């Protein structure tokens, strides 16, 4: 299967181009070329790519590009979508590789990206992250054009005037643009077209700056979208001839295939450009720190007039809000301009073009508010408010605004034996069971009859008060409701049909907003089945006792299994997902001979294979476990025999993809995926392989069902219950886009209703779930630099800033990351940076503090985990600490064999002697149970809270009986302190902005980097 990538090549004096290239992981060849830019060893030929994508010949041409990719002397690192593991992580660096490309001109890129946005899951290719990104960007560009977030401009392209559309980004659009900038995959800007094959000694292209690439791509895609959407709306069928005045020809060129304007005089160009530039500046004036805000309040009972209040508000902190009346009275809040009254009037003046009725208020000398009747209030809600908000103004609406006014309520009642709320096993209830159903129309919080609905439709009032609550009623909703009245509203359905109706959520204009079900079906649809069902006792053969919440989890898992449904056990890390799964397997064996129960296939990362083996041996020794992994794994008849004699088969994601055909031959009782975020991308090879393995039911185990986007939830849900949420395209339109882009409360509730029955999520910080887990006390440990460290730090800043200032594109990005790594190494220890084998004592503030802390821990008879992200530093630190303390200091890193790794973990967990366990963050941040430690030290920070929390949870999990002390070392006055402060200020957005590493910092400006890296003189001890 091909993995197709997309890149954007900004134009030089003309619109940019879309470049498509692909890699085929099954056709890898070692390149023997000695050219500086070697051919990519598993790149697909342009002709083969064109055939796979089935694009029209007239929109593409064949070219060659140089792509910057991480790799070794053996070849580039495969992309994650291939499912191929890198051969080694040593010696990885950026290098240029020649790839065949399909070149799409900018004016055709929107259509091509639209055609590639939804690849067939069973087709010959999958989209890489870069192509998915460009498809999303093209969709946003179309949306901007549809909603008029643009202005026409006059540009100069290769010395010829041209009429182009340019975006106007304010408010929420500007925030979206920043998200696109932060989330750009490096490959999007890493390809540079070449006109001939690269020769030995030729320069390697360095890619393009992220800001320039995004701006060029967005403007090109938006311009192309506008030319499709707007011709008749602008011109009304009239087009100016070649001899018409320049403004007329410019208007025509805005929608013509050829945007150029030859034979224009200098005077005409100067006058038109000045007017258009003034227009653009006025449109962008709303991007300041203070904005004008509008608040709409509904009338009190018995009154008719609505109030629209004006105010000034901080763009950064919405809580800083000053009503216009207070502005005129001379009141202030921090950050206001010198003349806030002028700022208020200027903002209201700009808002008039979006809400013309403001003219009436501006006739007053000191406008503070205006009254609206109900029809005017509705117009403001539906038309003016969205425009004002998108343009950067503040808008505050009643809590009910924007919700669907009319919806459906589904009521079901089970019959006879299935009527009681008992476990499915006891009631005999199945998805084929017949239930009685009734659909009612709901407006606001109450149901309405057909007669009441007809009266509301006759009145044709868009805003009505129904039983004391204001509701929006538009024509489409009323028509959909009236149409629903004529359909069957009660009768009989199977439980499976009811379930499908709930998941589908009704129609776009008539959503399902309430469900009332009883019995087993009610338990399921409530999303609270684990609370409603009778907890199942710890099964026979389980060595230990399940906690009450684990018994409820077992009951829920068993309940879904008996119904033939899959689920996501999303308990927080450390709450015992493994124990609950093993107890489920034991429960299914009760009363059956071993050969009567089909085996369960559990797929997990390689690092967790041993953990599952040991946990099964500890909790469920009766289970027969077979590990299908490694070069000595069974094949053919031996494999069939091994599986036939097993209750639980363990394998890895990589092995499952390689042995797919073998695994598909087995009639599995269940396929379970641990760390199921590994299949969050439905297009990857390993995700598709796991889905292709047949089983009666499926189970996903993950503490993070959604890491970045809702598409990940769809992917995991589609594994658990194939087809239940419909195709990905419908899910994106129905849930993902409304929730992620518009924060749609109705869509959020509908998604929770649709997925709630199949997701069980408990947090260990919830005392109602687990009250005996000890406390986790986090603290920051501030360390000072020694004079030697400070000198080195300053030298690195001066040296690296000169390199950063003189570079751009991928080279600049690499220089920024290199600077960060060097500065963090200085903060650790001078010997870490210099790599000169010099002595360690008395040269590092961090090391001195660690020595003191380690001595205290050992003297108290405790154990500690010490995490570092640098294996080379760990190799220096381990023998030094062992000699300094005269105590064992274990060292786990990625270069250890699996048996040695297991031996270290076993020793740390079982030996009584106080000791320290030094761990590489990447090698040991997940998958280990190290509850013997009650101290965790993050010696050098990995600037993503989620990654650090995962590492901390090696100790803070079930089995921990003491409070866990977590210390994060930070050197004061350095980039460590400044980045920590940045994350603290933006904690709510940290996961989205910071991502999974430190690449976000490379997009800061040079001035911001200089401020970030600068050393505070007070930091030196």
Distance CA 248, CA 808 (A): 41
Position 426 scores a pLDDT of 44
| Of the options 3.40.50.740, 3.40.50.620, 3.40.50.720, 3.40.50.300, the CATH number for the domain spanning 776-1019 | 3.40.50.300
Question: How does DSSP assign 424-448, residue by residue?
Answer: HHHHT--TT-EEEEEEEEEETTEEE
Q: Which residues of 1-17 are buried (b: 16+ CB within 10 A; e: fewer)?
A: bbbbbbbbbbeeeebbb
In this predicted structure, which of 30-34, 356-360, 564-568, 684-688 has the lowest mean pLDDT? Answer: 30-34
Q: Which H or E run includes 596? A: none
**In the chain, what are the domain boundaries?**
2-85+92-149+171-208, 290-396, 406-525, 529-732, 776-1019
> What would the mean pLDDT of 569-576 be, rounded to a whole number?
79
pLDDT bracket for residue 913 (50, 70, 90): confident
**143: nearest Cα among 109, 118, 176:** 176
What percent of the chain lies above the pLDDT cut of 90? 22
Position 425 confidence tier, pLDDT thresholds 50, 70, 90 = very low
* pLDDT at 216 (0 to 100): 93
DSSP assignment of 657-714 equals HHTHHHHTTS-EEEEEEESGGGG-STTSHHHHHHHTS-EEEEEEE-S-S-SS-HHHHH
Stretch (H or E) spanning 952 = helix 945-952
Residue with tokens 């969205």: 386
* Per-residue model confidence (pLDDT) at position 203: 35
What tokens appear for 38 in the block?
A: 């070697």
- For residue 713 the two structure tokens come to 């939830």
Confidence of residue 421 (pLDDT cuts 50, 70, 90): very low
946 or 29, higher pLDDT: 946
* Three-class SS state of 780: strand
The answer to whether 773 touches 765, Cβ cutoff 8 Å, is: no
Which candidate, 577, 596, 590, 597, places its Cα nearest to that of 540?
590
The phi-psi region of residue 999 (left if phi > 0; otherwise alpha if psi is between -120 and 50; otherwise beta) is alpha
Cα–Cα distance between 146 and 137 in angstroms, integer? 14
* CA dist list (Å): 93 to 34, 68, 812: 17, 10, 14
Confidence at 809, pLDDT banded by 50, 70, 90: low
- pLDDT at residue 233 above 60? no
Burial class (CB in 10 A: 0-12, 13-18, 19+), 488: exposed
Tokens at 200, concatenated: 């030995």
What is the reported pLDDT for 649? 96
Distance of CA 998 to the CA centre of its chain: 16
Residue-wise pLDDT tens digits, 386-410 = 778 767 788 888 877 766 667 777 7
pLDDT at 235: 42
The answer to whether residues 286 and 170 touch, using CB atoms and an 8 Å cutoff, is yes
Is the model's pLDDT at 586 over the cut of 90?
yes
Residue pair 526/552 in contact (Cβ under 8 Å)? The answer is: no
Please give the Cα distance from 461 to 375 (Å, whole number): 8
Q: Give the CATH architecture of domain 529-732.
A: 3-Layer(aba) Sandwich (3.40)
172 against 616, higher pLDDT: 616
**Which is it for the CA torsion 917, 923, 928, 934, positive or negative?**
positive
Give the per-residue pLDDT at 258. 83
Decide if pLDDT at 45 tops 60. Answer: yes
- The average confidence (pLDDT) of the chain is 81
| pLDDT tens digits, one per residue of 488-519 | 677 777 777 777 777 776 776 677 777 777 87
Distance CA 499, CA 724 (A): 9
- CA pair distance 924, 947, nearest whole angstrom: 11
Q: What CA–CA distance (Å, rounded) separates 620 from 622?
A: 5
Distances (CA, A) of 711 to 130, 605, 717, 727: 16, 22, 10, 11
Residues making up the chain, counted from first to last: 1021
Distance (Å) of CA 610 to CA 430, 629, 635, 642, 914: 37, 11, 21, 18, 25
Q: Which residues contact 449 (CB under 8 A, 6 or more apart)?
A: 441
> Is the model's pLDDT at 834 over the cut of 80?
yes
Assess contact for 996 and 944: CB atoms under 8 A: yes
Which of 829, 782, 822, 844 minimizes the C-alpha distance to 1018?
782
pLDDT band at 32; cut points 50, 70, 90: very low
Query: Which has the minimum average pLDDT: 300-304, 688-692, 890-894?
Result: 300-304
Mean pLDDT of 459-475: 72
How many CA atoms lie less than 13 Å away from 636 in the CB half-sphere? 2
- For residue 205, give the H/E element and its range: none
Give 694-697 contacts, CB < 8 A, sequence gap 24+. Answer: 694/664, 694/667, 694/668, 695/601, 695/668, 695/669, 695/670, 695/671, 696/564, 696/598, 696/668, 696/669, 696/670, 697/560, 697/561, 697/564, 697/565, 697/566, 697/669, 697/670
What's the CA gap between 928 and 945, in Å, rounded? 18
Identify which has the larger pLDDT, 945 or 1003: 945
Task: Tell me the sheet residues that pair with 395.
Answer: 294
CA distance 86 to 74: 11
CA angle 667, 672, 678 (to 5 degrees): 125
| Mean pLDDT, residues 324-328 taken together | 92
pLDDT of residue 672: 96
- Structure tokens belonging to residue 205: 């292209």
The residues, any chain, with a CB within 8 Å of residue 394's CB and separated by 6 or more, are 291, 292, 293, 294, 311, 313, 318
Place of tokens 């140089």: 66
DSSP tag of 572? P
Q: Which 3 state secondary structure label does DSSP give 355? A: coil
Residue with the larger pLDDT of the pair 251 and 485: 251
**Cα distances (angstroms) measured from residue 19 to each of 59, 77, 657:** 12, 20, 30
For residue 420, pLDDT beyond 50: no
Tell me which residue of 739, 603, 737 sits closest to 674, measured CA to CA.
603
Residue spans of beta strands (DSSP E) within 47-185: 61-72, 75-76, 93-105, 125-127, 150-157, 160-167
Mean pLDDT of 198-205: 36
Find residue 759's DSSP bridge partners. Answer: 568
Cα separation, 656 vs 676, whole angstroms: 14
Grouping H, G, I as helix, E, B as strand and the rest as coil, residue 878 is helix
Element (H, E) at 779: strand 776-783
Kindly report the backbone phi and psi dihedral angles of residue 987, in degrees, each rounded to the nearest multiple of 5, phi listed first. -60, -35
What would the mean pLDDT of 851-880 be, rounded to a whole number? Answer: 90
Each residue of 622-650: pLDDT tens digit? 999 999 988 889 999 999 999 999 999 99
* Separation between Cα atoms, residue 796 and residue 1011, nearest integer Å: 14
Residue 1001's pLDDT band, with cuts at 50, 70 and 90, is low
Give CA 756 to chain center in angstroms: 20
375 confidence band (pLDDT: 50, 70, 90):
confident
Give the mean model confidence (pLDDT) for residues 567-576.
82
Residue position matching structure tokens 């259509």: 111
Q: What is the pTM of this model?
A: 0.56
| C-alpha to C-alpha distance for 682 and 126, rounded to whole angstroms | 9
Cα–Cα distance measured from residue 71 to residue 95, given in angstroms and rounded to the nearest whole number? 7
Confidence (pLDDT) at 419: 40
Confidence band, pLDDT 50/70/90 cuts, at residue 708: low
509 or 966, which is more confident?
Answer: 966
């Amino acid at each position: 299967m091909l993995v197709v990538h997309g890149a954007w090549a900004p134009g030089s004096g003309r619109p940019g181009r879309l470049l498509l290239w692909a890699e085929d992981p099954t056709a890898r060849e070692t390149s023997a070329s000695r050219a500086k830019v070697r051919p990519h060893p598993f790149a697909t030929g342009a002709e083969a790519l064109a055939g796979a994508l089935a694009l029209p010949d007239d929109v593409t041409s064949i070219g060659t590009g140089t792509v910057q990719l991480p790799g070794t002397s053996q070849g580039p690192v495969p992309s994650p979508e291939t499912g191929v593991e890198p051969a080694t992580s040593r010696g990885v660096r950026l290098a240029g590789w020649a790839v065949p490309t399909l070149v799409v001109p900018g004016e055709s890129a929107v259509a091509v990206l639209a055609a590639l946005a939804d690849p067939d899951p069973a087709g010959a290719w999958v989209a890489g992250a870069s192509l998915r990104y460009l498809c999303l960007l093209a969709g946003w560009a179309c949306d901007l054009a549809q909603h008029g977030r643009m202005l026409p401009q006059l540009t100069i392209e290769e010395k010829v005037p041209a009429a182009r559309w340019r975006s106007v980004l304010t408010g929420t659009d500007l925030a979206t643009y920043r998200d696109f900038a932060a989330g750009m995959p490096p490959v999007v800007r890493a390809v540079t077209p070449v006109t001939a094959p690269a020769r030995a000694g030729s320069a390697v292209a360095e890619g393009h700056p992220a800001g320039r690439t995004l701006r060029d791509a967005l403007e090109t895609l938006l311009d192309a979208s506008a030319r499709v959407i707007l011709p008749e709306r602008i011109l009304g069928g009239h087009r100016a001839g070649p001899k018409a005045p320049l403004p007329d020809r410019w208007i025509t060129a805005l929608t013509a295939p050829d945007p150029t304007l030859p034979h224009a005089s200098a005077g005409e160009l100067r006058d038109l450009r000045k007017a258009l530039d003034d227009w653009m500046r006025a449109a962008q004036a709303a991007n300041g720190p203070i904005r004008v805000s509008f608040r709409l309040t509904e009338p009190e009972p018995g009154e008719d007039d609505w109030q629209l209040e004006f105010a000034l508000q901080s763009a950064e902190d919405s809580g800083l809000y000053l009503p216009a009346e207070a502005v005129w009275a001379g009141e202030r809040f921090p950050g206001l301009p010198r003349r806030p009254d002028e700022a208020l009037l200027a903002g209201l003046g700009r808002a008039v073009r979006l809400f013309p009725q403001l003219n009436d208020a501006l006739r007053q000398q000191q406008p503070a508010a205006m009254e609206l009747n109900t029809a005017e209030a509705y117009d403001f809600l539906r038309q003016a408010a969205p425009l004002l908000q998108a343009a950067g103004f503040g808008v505050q609406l009643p809590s009910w605004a924007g919700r669907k006014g009319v919806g459906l309520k589904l009521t079901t009642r089970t019959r006879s034996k299935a009527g009681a709320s008992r476990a499915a096993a006891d009631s005999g209830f199945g998805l084929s069971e017949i239930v009685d159903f009734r659909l009612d129309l709901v407006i606001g919080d109450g149901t309405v009859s057909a007669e009441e609905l007809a009266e509301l439709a006759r009145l044709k009032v868009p805003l009505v008060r129904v039983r004391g609550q204001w509701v929006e009623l538009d024509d489409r909703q009323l028509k959909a409701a009236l149409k629903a009245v004529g359909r069957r509203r009660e009768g009989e359905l199977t439980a499976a049909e009811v379930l499908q109706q709930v998941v589908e959520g009704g129609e776009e204009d008539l959503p399902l907003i309430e469900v009332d079900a009883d019995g087993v079906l009610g338990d399921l649809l409530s999303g609270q089945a684990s609370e409603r069902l009778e907890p199942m006792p710890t099964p026979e053969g389980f060595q230990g006792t399940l906690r009450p919440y684990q018994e409820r989890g077992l009951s829920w898992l068993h309940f879904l299994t008996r119904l033939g449904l899959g689920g996501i056990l999303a308990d927080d890390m450390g709450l015992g997902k493994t124990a609950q799964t093993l107890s489920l397997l034991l429960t299914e064996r009760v009363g059956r001979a071993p050969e009567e129960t089909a085996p369960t296939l559990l797929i997990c990362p390689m690092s967790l294979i041993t953990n599952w083996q040991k946990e099964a041996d500890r909790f469920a020794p009766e289970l027969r476990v077979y590990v299908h992994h490694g070069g000595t794994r069974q094949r053919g008849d031996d494999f069939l025999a091994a599986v036939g004699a097993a209750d639980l088969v363990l394998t890895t994601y990589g092995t499952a993809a390689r042995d797919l055909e073998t695994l598909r031959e087995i009639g599995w009782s269940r396929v379970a995926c641990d760390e199921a975020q590994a299949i969050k991308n439905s297009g990857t090879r390993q995700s598709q392989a796991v889905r292709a393995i047949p089983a009666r039911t499926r189970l996903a185990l993950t503490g993070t069902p959604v890491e970045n986007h809702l598409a990940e939830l769809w992917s995991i849900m589609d594994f658990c219950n194939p087809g239940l949420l419909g195709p990905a395209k419908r899910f994106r339109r129905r849930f993902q886009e409304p929730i992620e882009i518009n924060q749609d409360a109705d869509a959020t509730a509908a998604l929770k209703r649709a997925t709630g029955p199949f997701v069980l999520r408990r947090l260990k910080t919830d005392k109602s779930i687990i009250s005996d887990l000890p406390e986790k006390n986090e603290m920051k440990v501030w360390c000072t630099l020694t004079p030697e460290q400070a000198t080195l730090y300053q030298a690195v800043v001066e040296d690296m800033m000169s390199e950063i200032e003189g570079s751009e594109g991928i080279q600049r990005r690499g220089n920024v990351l290199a600077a960060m790594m060097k500065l963090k190494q200085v903060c650790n220890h001078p010997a870490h940076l210099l790599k000169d084998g010099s002595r360690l004592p008395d040269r590092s503030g961090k090391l001195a503090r660690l020595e003191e802390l380690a001595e205290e821990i050992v003297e108290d008879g405790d154990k500690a985990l010490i995490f570092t992200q640098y294996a080379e530093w760990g190799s220096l630190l381990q023998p030094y600490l062992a000699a300094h303390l005269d105590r064992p200091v274990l060292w786990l890193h990625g270069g250890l064999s699996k048996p040695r790794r297991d031996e270290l973990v076993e020793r740390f967990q079982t030996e009584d002697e106080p000791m320290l366990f030094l761990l590489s963050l990447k090698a040991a941040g997940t998958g280990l149970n190290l509850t013997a430690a009650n101290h965790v030290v993050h010696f050098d920070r990995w600037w993503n809270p989620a990654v650090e929390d995962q590492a901390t949870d090696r100790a803070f999990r079930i089995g921990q009986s003491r409070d866990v002390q977590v210390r994060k070392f930070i050197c004061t006055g350095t980039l460590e302190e400044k980045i920590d402060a940045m994350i603290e200020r933006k904690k709510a957005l940290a996961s989205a902005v910071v991502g999974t590493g430190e690449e976000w910092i490379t997009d800061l400006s040079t001035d911001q980097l200089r401020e970030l890296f600068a050393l505070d003189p007070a930091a030196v001890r």
